[in-house]
Structures are given as C-alpha cells and as structure tokens.
Structure 1
Amino acid sequence: MNNLESFWMPFTSNRDFKHNPRLLVRAEGVYYTTTDGRQVLDGTSGLWCSNAGHCRKSIVDAIKKQAELLDFAPTFQIGHPLSFEFAERLIHMVQGFSHIFFTNSGSESIDTALKIALAYHYSRGSTTRTRFIARERSYHGVNFGGVSIGGISANRKQFSSLLNGVDYICHTHNIKHNAYSKGEPEWGMHLADDLERLFVLHDSSTIAAVIVEPLAGSTGVLVPPKGYLGRLREICDAHDILLIFDEVITGFGRIGTAFASDYFAVKPDIFTTAKGITNATVPMGAVFCRNGIYEAFMDAPEGAIELFHGYTCSGHPVACAAGLATIELYQNEELFKRSAELAPYLEEAVHSLKGNKHVVDIRNLGMIAAIELEGVNNKPTVRAMEAFKQCYDKGLLIRTTGDTIALSPPLIIEKNQIDFIIDVIRRVLRSIN
C-alpha cells in the first residue's frame, strides 16, 4: 500500500481515516470492491452522483474514444463540436430554457449562477440588485460564493472573508409537525413567506436572486413542504427577483423526473447541475438559463465579450463525450422512469425502520431517503459516524450528515438490494450505543 499521508482528504477526519483506512479499488454496477476483495453495496451513488451505477461500458467507451481523438480544446474564442451538441441535448431535456454554461463541478456551477444573476441585472440597468437570499441549513458547494450563501455553520466558521450582501430565510425542517412524513410534508408551505419578512430589512429592489435546493440533500435530506416552492416562485415573480434552484443532487432522475423543477412543476430562472450529468465519470457541471437571460447580455458592442467568466475546462471534450453517453444511457434504459417506479418500494422499506433504536425521524422523496438519529449529548455526529463504519464493515456504503443517515442508491438498484440496505442498517442500529 502507498503511504497515505500526502493526500489531504476533503470533508474527512484525516487522522481517524489514516489510522483505519477504507480504500476502494474497483466498481461495477451497484458495488464497490475494497483492497481486501470485499464487495460493498453503494447505497449513496458514490456522493449522490453515479446515478446509472458504476463503470457502465457505453460511457467508458465514449471516454476512451474521445480521449484518443481530441483530448482537450479551449472554449475561449474557439470551440469544438461536442460542447455545442451536448448543450443542445441538455436543453431539449427541459422546457423554457435556452442556454447552458458549462463548469467542472457543482461548486463552480453555483458561483457561475450567482455571477450570471448579478450580471443579468447589471445588463438590464438594475444596478441596485446585488443581494442574495439563501436558506438556513443549505449546502451550495465549497467555493467562496457557495460557502457565503450556504447555511451550514461548520462549513463557514474557519473562513472569515465571505461575500457581503447575503441573508437567509428559515429552513423547513420541523420534526414536531412533520416527523415520519412520506414524500412532501403537509405542514410548512407558509415558511416561504419568511422571504417577505426580509423585504422589511432589505428592500426587494436590492435583491438579485433567491437560491434554494428544491430538496436539501447534504444538510440531512429536507423535503420541501407541499406548495412551498410554488410560493417562493410567486413572491419572486411579484418582486422581479430571480429564483435559482441548486439541482446538483436532484438533477438527472434522482426523484423520478429529469429535474426537480419537473417534479414540483415550479420553474426557476436558473438552475445548477453537476454530479449525474456525466454519471460522475468525468468532472462536469452545467448551469441552465431560462429563455431571455442570455439575450439580455447580447446588447454589448459587436465583438465584445458579453460575460467575463469561464473556466479552462468549460465544456471539456472528454466530459462532453461522457455526458452525451450518460444521457443516452439514461434514456435507453428509462432510468428516470425506473427511479419513479422504485421510489415507493424504497419509501416503504426505509419507513419500516420507524421504532428502531435511536431513530427520531425518517424522510424520503424519490430515490432519496434519510434516517435521523437521536444525537449524543455534546457529541454531534458521533452516533451516525459509528453507524457509517459498522455499515461499511457489513458491506454497505451509506452517507452521514450530522446525526442523519442519508441514502441515494443508483437508479439501477434491485429491490432485493434495497432490502439488504435496510437489513444492514436495522442490525447496525441495534448494535450501536
């Protein structure tokens, strides 16, 4: 084994991990293989991202072919055909959106969306609209823009210099009213009206955009109450404020439709994606802009750059090849439909854990579920992390966030494999203190 010290691992207790490492060396379908040859069922699609399972041949072949043909081409004042082909393919997946801006991650997608929102208002002469409204308990990546609008304190406290002009509406999580909800909770639509409270402090004419995750994933799977997102849309429309959805997790079939905006029938002005866009085989993200946003920039002088923003690898040819093959696979295997059909089975399976030791709430929507555990006094996350380690030892990879176990298995998973996930978690809950 190579020395493990040189890699500073992200979002990891490095000392704990390197004392007892968990190393994966192969993947296929819904399984990882460890260094000692054990199979581990992937209950989290890697990190909410390998929606079609691992090492799918058609995607791998597309990557190999493209790397041999055109390994890299810049997209500053020059281009390559695949970036335009992929953008067109993506636009055809959703109605009312006309343009795609390519990035390399969800974090870059968020920063891009924020900059587009500011520049859009500037291009229209609305120079007072410089403020962002986000939500408590939100996660929008780890770049300075995303951390600034993110609502998780642990992700912010080490970094003092963040964006100014950001405020927050309240989160929607309420166990007292919504414990053990199946799908969208009945209580909480009125929480969207907290946005209007902020207009007293910040005149609505100063606000560029409101940004939310349609379903908040990394903070513990917080499913929006019925009507909540629609109410946000109404308020934003009434005050000429852009609405941005962060669909890095919910995009590409995770809740049974191409995007969460389809499922909830609420259209944002801009939405961000990454993860499932290439089945996580090559890093990539994309920002979708509704009709009219791109056009607002086109009054610039002829030959001028309309938006001073971009990345070296925006629209990378190998990523585009992976993305095209991924979308083709999603469609050929009808994985979004499969996700919708499997969702009720996952729902019933995960809710069967109600009443088990330590469980205080269970939440789900589509192929996402969460089991919230009672925290240990003065030791947040300890119980969930112990569950994570024991599940791994028993052949199951789960995700933990705070005191919550999160599940988001590949959309190709079978019912007996869902049963295995629930059985392992049930046994682990009985054994942990």
Structure 2
Amino acid sequence: MNVQSPNDLRAFWMPFTANRQFKQNPRMFVAAKDMHYTTADGREVLDGTAGLWCCNAGHARPRIVEAVQAQVAELDYAPAFQMGHPKAFELANRLVDMAPEGMDHVFYTNSGSESVETALKIALAYHRARGEGQRTRLIGRERGYHGVNFGGISVGGIVNNRKFFGSLLAGVDHLPHTHLPEKNSYSRGEPEHGAELADDLERLVALHGPETIAAVIVEPMAGSTGVILPPKGYLEKLRAITRKHGILLIFDEVITGFGRLGAPFGADYFGVTPDMMTTAKGITNGVVPMGAVFCSGAIHDAFMQGPENAIELFHGYTYSGNPLAAAAGLATLETYREEGLFDRAAELAPYFEDMLHGLKGLPHVMDIRNLGLVGAVELEPVAGAPTKRAFEAFLAAYEEGVLIRTTGDIIALSPPLIIEKGQIDRIGEVLSKVLRALP
C-alpha cells in the first residue's frame, strides 16, 4: 500500500459527473456558511440549489452543528435491529406530528433512493399481508425520478438513468408525464391544462386488471427532470382513481418535503394525502445522510399480526435511525420551526417567481416554470449537442459566483429557504448576464 498517495483526483469515480472534464478543471468547495460556499481558491459562491435540493436551512447552521458534535461524543452508533436509542423515536414522533393526518409511522432509511426501495417493498408486502399477493405491478411516470436503485429506476422514467442497466424490474408500467409546453409554457405555479392526463391510469388499470396493481408512485412536483409541475386537479384525480381500485398511492417527497414549496410537504401544499411518502434530503438539512418513509396507520397495522416475537417486516439497513442522523434531524426540524422557514418560503415565492419570469425573452430561453422556491429555465439545445448549452451556463454562472443545477438543457434553481431578496436578485442578474453571453 502506498500511504503517500498524492491527492491527484484519480481514485474517486464521481457520481453523475463528467469525470474527465471535471478532473481537467476541478471545481472544489472547501467550506460553507449560510447561503454561500467557499471555493479552494477563496471565492464565495451563492448557493442557488441548496446543495442538491437538500440544505433547506442553509449551511453550517449552529443548532445542527452543535447537535451532531454532541451526539458523536455521547453515542456514535447503535444498532436498529432489536435495539434502539431515544433520539430515533423522538424524531419519528416529531416527523409524524408535522405530517399530513393519517401518516402515523416512519421507517428510516439513509437516502431518497433507499426510501423509494423501501416504500415499493412495503407496498408489495402490504398487499401480501392482506391476502392480495397477486398485486405485484408498480406504476411510475415518464420523466419521473425515484433515485438510482433498481426499483427506483424501474418505476422512474428518465431515459439515461434506465437504458444502461438492462431490463430492470418486470411488471412495471408508466403514466405519461405532465409537461405540455404547447399549452402551459411560462406557467406561474400550477399549470391550467393537463389534469386529464391522470385518466391514463384508468387505461392501465383496464389493461392489467386492478387486482394486479400494488402501487402508483409519482413526485407531487417532478424536480430532477427539470421541474415539471402537476396541472390543477391532476393529483386529486390520481388519488381518486387509486382509492377506487384499492391501489396504494406513493408520493416521492424527497425534494418537495420539508418546506421547498412553502409547506411541510407537497401533500400539504396540494391538499392530497397519499398512502405513503418517501423523504430524505431536507430531513437532516443534508448534514448526515438520512431518509424516512411515512406510511398510514392502516399499512403499518396490517403487518402487526402473528406472534409478538416475530419480525413483521424483513427489511432494514445497518444505519436506519443512525444516532448522528437522528440528532441532525431533530436539530433541523427545530431550526425550521424557530426560524419559520416554511412560511418564509411561501412569502418569498412570489418574489422568486417574478425574478425567474423576468428572464423571459432572453436569448435561448424556451420556457420558465416555478412553484414555491423552485424554478426552471428551459433553454433551446445546441443543434446536435444536447445538454451543451445548459452546461456552459452552469460553468459560466459558477465563474460569476452562483451555483445553479442543470438537467438536460434545463437550469434548475432551489435555493435554501433562508435566502434574502437581494440574493434572489443576484441570481437573476447572473443568469441574465450568462444567458446574454451564451453562443
């Protein structure tokens, strides 16, 4: 072993990254505080993306930092199989207290991807526990993102996340996505057109038989595919159809959870309560990896049968309810509460919306969409070079001191909920400058 290996970037195979391009010209963050990252060369970069949609309370927040520091000195790890520690139970109670009515239990995971896998497995096992084991089909949606594990990419609908990995899970079908630029371009908030797209679920039910379908999973607002919004009435229709046929409805709230839309969860914002919700990211402000699947009392209670000493669900993770993550989660929820960050997001949303739509008419802009403190600016692709224009915008914005995110040729924004109006203005100014300079 060469213990003197230089830090030359070779060993780390980076996720969702153009590795060769990055390693020729690295972009390194070495510190973060509140709304800004600090680069290796000492520049401040305004965080326009809350890290990866996860640092909703900003960076290095004192209550969270202190909680994690204290926890690692007191109890660094405890097994979650047949053992427990108090903070895992305390956090679970706090989470269900803030969840929509009927979401009575949480199952801990370590990421959004694991939350999705867990919810899909619970859905299948729930129907089997009730004597309906023939319900094995899962329904996702085109352009949906549900993490990167096999279940998630199977029900997901982002092409590049699927096509490299073979046939994936069997028995999966997809609803159409809700992106209708010909009818809903430059929408402010929920689009007017497209609720009828939910009716395609009835077609799938007729095709496969309702007795074969276990669950439907959708993001209330699709984030990673480029901020695709649900048309008015769409989620209500999905809820009605799934309830009619005894199908579980799962909301993937990994992005929309914990204040992103100006409410605790997308379910609260849209007024539609599913049977399960998958969460992660903002649950610990991104500080320690953690996720949680919320489920109804009816789902949980269906497993609580048989001998009391028997394991009810053969599923879990080494790090489920990790003490450091639980401490970070409790401190994060307290930070949200103390600072009124969910209400702050709702109050800032119109100002953020106006900034975004002020970019209309700039070179290459095809569409603008927004909801809460999340937005997208869709660009015309370079002929024969998809994603090139948005990636150039990402690099240029970084050089100007603003971090944005791109997916395809879409710029996505999701700043921490502590953002100030002047910082929203700064994002708009940099984007305007970058867009005007793009070839």
Same fold (TM over 0.5): yes
Mapped partners of 1:301, 1:198: distance in 2: 38
SS at structure 2 position matched to 1:40: strand
Mapped partners of 1:18, 1:161: distance in 2: 32
Q: 1:211: how far off?
A: 0.3
SS at structure 1 position matched to 2:179: coil
Mapped partners of 1:11, 1:247: distance in 2: 21
SS at structure 1 position matched to 2:367: strand
In structure 2, list runs of 5 or more residues that go unmatched. Answer: 1-5
Identity within the alignment, %: 65
1:354 corresponds to = 360
Residue of structure 2 aligned with 1:43, choices 23, 48, 51: 48
Counterpart code for 2:378:
E
Residue of structure 2 aligned with 1:398, choices 390, 393, 404: 404
1:408 corresponds to = 414
Mapped partners of 2:37, 2:266: distance in 1: 28
Query: Is residue 2:106 matched to residue 1:92?
Result: no
Mapped partners of 1:6, 1:41: distance in 2: 29
Residue of structure 1 aligned with 2:193, choices 187, 191, 194: 187
1:325 corresponds to = 331
SS at structure 2 position matched to 1:156: helix
In structure 1, list runs of 5 or more residues that go unmatched. Answer: none
Counterpart code for 2:62:
K
1:64 corresponds to = 69
Mapped partners of 1:300, 1:409: distance in 2: 48
Query: Is residue 2:198 matched to residue 1:154?
Result: no
Q: 1:168: how far off?
A: 0.3
Mapped partners of 2:278, 2:308: distance in 1: 29
SS at structure 1 position matched to 2:216: strand
1:21 corresponds to = 26
Q: TM-score, normalised by structure 2?
A: 0.98
Mapped partners of 2:302, 2:210: distance in 1: 21
SS at structure 1 position matched to 2:132: coil
1:137 corresponds to = 143
Q: 1:103: how far off?
A: 0.3
Mapped partners of 2:401, 2:46: distance in 1: 6
Mapped partners of 1:400, 1:322: distance in 2: 28
Mapped partners of 2:167, 2:107: distance in 1: 27
Mapped partners of 1:392, 1:11: distance in 2: 18
Residue of structure 2 aligned with 1:79, choices 80, 84, 87: 84
Q: 1:199: how far off?
A: 1.8
Q: Summarize deviations over 1:406-433 as a string: whole Å, max 9, x none.
A: 0000000000000000100000001111
2:260 corresponds to = 254
1:377 corresponds to = 383
Mapped partners of 2:236, 2:30: distance in 1: 44
1:222 corresponds to = 228
1:5 corresponds to = 10
Mapped partners of 1:355, 1:194: distance in 2: 35
Query: Is residue 2:303 matched to residue 1:306?
Result: no
Counterpart code for 1:141:
G
Query: Is residue 2:127 matched to residue 1:127?
Result: no
Count of residues in Structure 1 that have an aligned counterpart in Structure 2: 433
Mapped partners of 2:296, 2:261: distance in 1: 22
Q: TM-score, normalised by structure 1?
A: 0.99
4+ residue segments displaced more than 4 Å = none
Query: Is residue 2:292 matched to residue 1:292?
Result: no
Mapped partners of 2:408, 2:123: distance in 1: 31
Mapped partners of 1:185, 1:89: distance in 2: 33
Query: Is residue 2:270 matched to residue 1:264?
Result: yes
SS at structure 2 position matched to 1:162: coil
2:3 corresponds to = none
Residue of structure 1 aligned with 2:427, choices 401, 421, 428: 421
Q: 1:300: how far off?
A: 2.5
Counterpart code for 1:51:
N
Mapped partners of 2:301, 2:412: distance in 1: 40
Q: Summarize deviations over 1:365-407 as a string: whole Å, max 9, x none.
A: 0000000001112211000000000000000000000110000
Mapped partners of 2:37, 2:93: distance in 1: 34
Query: Is residue 2:119 matched to residue 1:113?
Result: yes
Residue range with higher mean Cα deviation, 156-165 or 124-133: 156-165
SS at structure 1 position matched to 2:31: strand
Mapped partners of 2:383, 2:212: distance in 1: 42
Mapped partners of 1:417, 1:300: distance in 2: 57
Query: Is residue 2:369 matched to residue 1:363?
Result: yes
Q: 1:96: how far off?
A: 1.2
Counterpart code for 1:106:
G
Mapped partners of 2:308, 2:223: distance in 1: 43
Q: 1:2: how far off?
A: 2.1
SS at structure 1 position matched to 2:98: coil
Q: 1:161: how far off?
A: 4.2
Mapped partners of 1:342, 1:200: distance in 2: 44
1:103 corresponds to = 109
SS at structure 2 position matched to 1:363: strand
Query: Is residue 2:345 matched to residue 1:339?
Result: yes
